[in-house]
Amino acid sequence: MSSMTESVARLSRRQIAWRAAQDIENGWYVNLGIGLPTLAASYVPDGREIVFHSENGLLGVGTYPKPGEEDPDLINATKEYVTLAKGASVFKHSDSFTMIRGGHLDLALLGAFEVSLKGDLANWTTEDPNFPPGVGGAMDLAVGAKRIRVLMEHTTRKGEPKIRNSCKYPLTASSVVKRLYTDLAVIDVTEDGLLVVEMAEGLTREALQDVTEAPLTYAATVGVLKAPAVA
3-state secondary structure of 209: helix
- Compute the distance between CA of residue 94 and CA of residue 174 in angstroms, rounded to an integer: 25
- Compute the distance between CA of residue 112 and CA of residue 40 in angstroms, rounded to an integer: 16
**Catalytic residue chosen out of the listed positions 6, 25, 49, 55:** 55
Pairing of strands 177-181, 216-225: unpaired
- Compute the distance between CA of residue 60 and CA of residue 201 in angstroms, rounded to an integer: 35
DSSP code for 101: H
Total residue length of the chain: 231
- Compute the distance between CA of residue 98 and CA of residue 152 in angstroms, rounded to an integer: 27
- Of residues 157, 163, 156, 159, the one with CA closest to residue 185: 163
Q: What are phi and psi for residue 107, nearest 5 degrees?
A: -155, 145
Long-range contacts of 59-67 (CB under 8 A, 24+ apart): 59/29, 59/88, 59/89, 59/91, 59/96, 59/99, 60/84, 60/85, 60/86, 60/87, 60/88, 60/89, 61/32, 61/85, 61/88, 62/88
Question: Catalytic site residue 25?
Answer: no
Active site residues: 55
